[in-house]
Amino acid sequence: MDKNSIILFNPMPVEHPVAIPNKMTTSLQVPLVNVPLSLLALGRMVRDEFNVKIVNAVVDNDYKKNIIHDSKNALCLAVSSMTCYQISDGIDTCKAVKELYPQLPVIWGGYHPSTEPLQTLKNPYIDIVIRGQGEIPFKEIVKKIRKNESLHGIRGVSYKEGGKIIENPGQKFKALDSFPPIAYDMIDVERHVKGYKFANRCIDYYSSMGCAAGCDFCSEPLFCGSRWSGLPPETVVSELEYLAKTYDIDTFMIRDSDFFINVKRVKEICRLMIGKNMGIRLTSVNGRMEQLSRMDDEVWGLLRKAGIHEIFIGFESGLQEALDAMNKGARTSQIKMCINKCIEHDIDIRGSFMVGIPGVDAKEEVTSTFDEIHKIISAYGTMGKLKHMDILLSFFTPYPHTRLYEASVKNGLKPLNTLEEWGDFDQFDFKAPWFSQVYFDITRDFRAGMPMNSGCGFEEWCGFYEGIKKRLGRI
Ligand code: B12
Ligand code: SF4
C-alpha cells in the first residue's frame, strides 16, 4: 500500500449467528455472498490513477486486520453501508483504523449515509459522506485528498472542516451509461461465485439503477429521487456474454430495483439474448406487480426464452389497506395476475411480503397476508411445483426519513438519533411496539412452517395452515 492506494470496504451485512455458517441472510433463502457491486462501481472510476484494494467482509477472512494493516500508507478508507449491521461493523473497523491513523480520511457512502448524512458525520471516525450515486463525487474527492485541497463545492458531498459539518448541494442523478463498464477483475470473482436453485455458477450483475415508484417504506425514492437509468440493451447483453465466458457463469442474479420499467428495453434485451442463444439464465429479476400484471403476453413469452428463469416481486401485503398505507400504487388482485403469468410462462416466482405496517389493523393484515401466501403455495403445490416458488416473509422495518419512519415514531417507535443506534437496530426480525407479541410469534411460526423453510410437502402444509388459521381465530 502507498499514498496512491484506496481501500474500499463492504462490511458484514448481518450479525445473525445462523446467517454466517449458512451463508444465507434474511429469510435464510437469500445468499449472503454477493459481488460488492457498489465498490466495483466506485473502483472503476479511479482504477486508472489509483491502486484500488477491495475488501468484502463476507468473503475476506481477517478483513479487519488486513484493513488496519493496509491503512498505514493508504490515501483513504471508503466504506459502503446499508441501514443494517454493516453500520456497526463499519464503525468498529473505522474506529480501529482511526485510533492508529487519525489523519486517514474515512469516507462513507451507500443507502444509509445517503439518507442520514448528518448523523453519519457526527460519528467521530467518519470524515466525509457521499449522498447518492458515488461515481463522480468519489473520483473528485480522492483527487482533492491527494492534493490536500478542500472538498468545497463537490456536489453530493457532506464533510467535516474546521470542526464544522458542511453540506454541499445535492448532485443530479446520472445516466448509467455515462460511466465506464463495471470491471469484475478488481475482485477475485471465484470467491463470489455462488450456487442458487438451478444455478451452479451464479454471480451478481446490475443493468439499471433507481426506481420510479414512491413506496413510503422504501429508501430508494429518497436515494434516487424516483429517477431511473438503465444501460442500453446491447451493452447489457454484451457485458453478460463477456462475464459468462470469462468466468464460466451460468446464471446472473440481477440486482436492479426495477428491471421491467421500460418494456421496450426489456423486449430488446430479450431479443438480443435469444438471438445469441447464450444459454445463460437470469434470476431474481426485480419487477413491480402493477407493471408486470399489465405486461402483454408477447413480452411474457420472450422472457423465459431469453433465459429469465425467476422474477422477484415485492407483493408486500395481502391487505389492500396496507398496500395503500405504504403508497405501493398496486392492487392485491395483481398478485394473482402475476402468479398466473409466471406459471403460464414457466418462470419461477420469488415474492416478498411483510407485516407490521404502522396504523394498519394487525389481525386483518396478518390474516389477509397469510391467506394470500397460502393461495400462492396452493397454486404451485397442487401442480407439484413447490420448488418453483419462494416466499420471503418479513416484518416491516423503518428506514431513515421515509414516511413510514415518521408514522412509526408517531406509533411509539423510539426515534433513532445516532449512527450507532441505527447499527444496533435489529433488521432481522424487527418487533415494532405497535405490533403485538401474539401476531409477531404467529408470523414467525407461519414463516418457519412454509414449505420452502420447513421442507414439508403440500398436504402437510395444508394441515399446518389449518392449525395456523384456528390459532389466528382464537387471538
Ligand atoms: C445486493 C443487495 C443486498 C445484499 C448485500 C449487498 C452488500 N452491500 O453487501 C444482501 C442480499 C445481503 C442485502 C441485504 C439487505 N438489504 Co439489500 N440490497 C441489495 C440490492 C438489491 C443491490 C445493491 C447493489 O449492489 N446495487 C448496485 C450498486 C452499484 O449500487 P449501490 O449499492 O447503490 O452503490 C452506489 C451508491 O449507493 C454509492 N455507494 C455505495 N456504497 C458506497 C460507498 C462509498 C464510500 C461511496 C462514496 C459511495 C457508495 O455509490 C454506488 C455507485 O453509484 C439493493 C437494491 C438496489 N437495487 O440497489 C438492496 C438494498 C440496498 N438493500 C436494502 C435492505 C433494506 C437490505 C436489508 C437491510 C433488508 C433486511 N431487513 O433484511 C438486508 C441487510 C441485512 C440482512 N438482514 O441481510 C435496501 C437499503 C435500504 C437502506 N436504507 O439501507 C435496498 C436499497 C433495497 C430496497 N429498495 O429497500 N442486500
Ligand atoms: S417499487 Fe420497490 S424499489 Fe421501488 S420504491 Fe417501491 S419498494 Fe422501493
Expressed in angstroms and rounded, the spacing between residue 211 Cα and the centre of ligand 2 is 6
User: Which pLDDT score is estimated for 89?
Assistant: 96
Mean pLDDT confidence for 203-229: 97
Superfamily of domain 5-167: Response regulator (3.40.50.2300)
pLDDT (tens digit per residue) in 361-401: 999 999 999 999 999 999 999 999 999 999 999 999 999 99
pLDDT at 220: 97
Atom of ligand 1 nearest to the CA of 428: 77
b/e burial code for range 314-328 (CB count within 10 A of at least 16 → b): bbbbbbebbbebbbb
The verdict on the CB of residue 211 being under 6 Å from ligand 2 is yes
Q: Does residue 257's CB lie within 6 angstroms of at least one atom of ligand 2? A: yes
Binning pLDDT at 50, 70 and 90, where does residue 161 land?
very high
Ligand 1 test: best mutation among 15, 38, 126, 228, most atoms within 8 Å of CB? 38
**Rounded Cα distance, 218 and 354, in Å:** 12
The preferred substitution site among 115, 209, 218 for testing ligand 2, maximizing ligand atoms within 8 Å of CB, is 218
Question: Over 60: is that where the pLDDT of 25 sits?
Answer: no
DSSP3 helix / strand / coil % (the chain, rounded to 5): 45, 20, 40
More confident residue, 452 or 168: 168
> Picking from 95-109, 113-127, 134-148, 447-461, which range would have the lowest pLDDT averaged per residue?
447-461
CB atoms within 10 A of CB 442: 17
Domain locations in the chain as residue ranges: 5-167, 193-474
Q: State the pLDDT at residue 184.
A: 98
pLDDT of residue 382: 97
Query: Ligand 1 centroid vs 81 CA: distance in angstroms?
Result: 7
pLDDT of amino acid 32: 83
Rounded to the nearest angstrom, the distance between the alpha carbon of 195 and the centre of ligand 2 is: 26
Cβ atoms < 10 Å from Cβ of 297: 10
- pLDDT tens digits for range 242-280: 999 999 999 999 999 999 999 999 999 999 999 999 999
- Let me know: does 215 contact 327? Beta carbons within 8 Å: yes
What pLDDT was estimated at residue 34? 94
Ligand 1 pocket, residues with Cβ under 6 angstroms: 10, 13-14, 25-26, 30, 32, 34, 37-38, 41-42, 78-80, 82-84, 107-112, 115, 130, 133-135, 138, 206, 218-220, 255-257, 397, 399, 427-428
Residue 19 confidence (pLDDT) above 60:
no
The confidence band for 20, taking pLDDT boundaries of 50, 70 and 90, is low
Place of cell 473520483: 139
pLDDT (0 to 100) of residue 24: 56
User: Which of the four pLDDT bands, split at 50, 70 and 90, describes residue 14?
Assistant: confident
Question: Ligand 1 center to residue 130 CA distance, Å?
Answer: 15
Phi, psi angle pair for 318, to nearest 5° = -90, 0
Segment 232-242 mean pLDDT: 98
For range 198-226, the mean pLDDT = 96
Per-residue pLDDT at 188: 97
| pTM of the predicted protein model | 0.97
CA of 219 to the centre of ligand 2 (A): 8
Asked if the model's pLDDT at residue 237 lies above 90, the reply is: yes
Q: Which of 82, 215, 334 to mutate to test the pocket of ligand 2 (most atoms within 8 A of CB)?
A: 215
pLDDT tens profile 274-307: 999 999 999 999 999 999 999 999 999 999 999 9
From the CB of 255, is ligand 2 less than 6 Å away?
no
Average pLDDT of span 171-193: 96
- The whole-number pLDDT of residue 367 equals 98
pLDDT beyond 60 at 18: no
Find the ligand nearest to 402 CA: 1
Taking CA atoms, 434 is separated from 233, 421, 447, in Å, by 46, 20, 20
What's the fold here for domain 193-474? pyruvate-formate lyase- activating enzyme (3.80.30)
Mutate which of 220, 261, 328 for ligand 2? The one with the most ligand atoms within 8 Å of its CB, which is 220
pLDDT higher than 90, residue 102: yes
Residue nearest to ligand 2 atom 3, measured at CA: 257
Q: What is the mean pLDDT of residues 35-52?
A: 98
Give the chain's mean pLDDT.
95
CA distance 93 to 68: 8
- Identical fold for domains 5-167 and 193-474, yes or no, is no
Task: Name the closest-CA residue to atom 8, ligand 2.
Answer: 218
- pLDDT band for 26, please (50, 70, 90 cuts): low
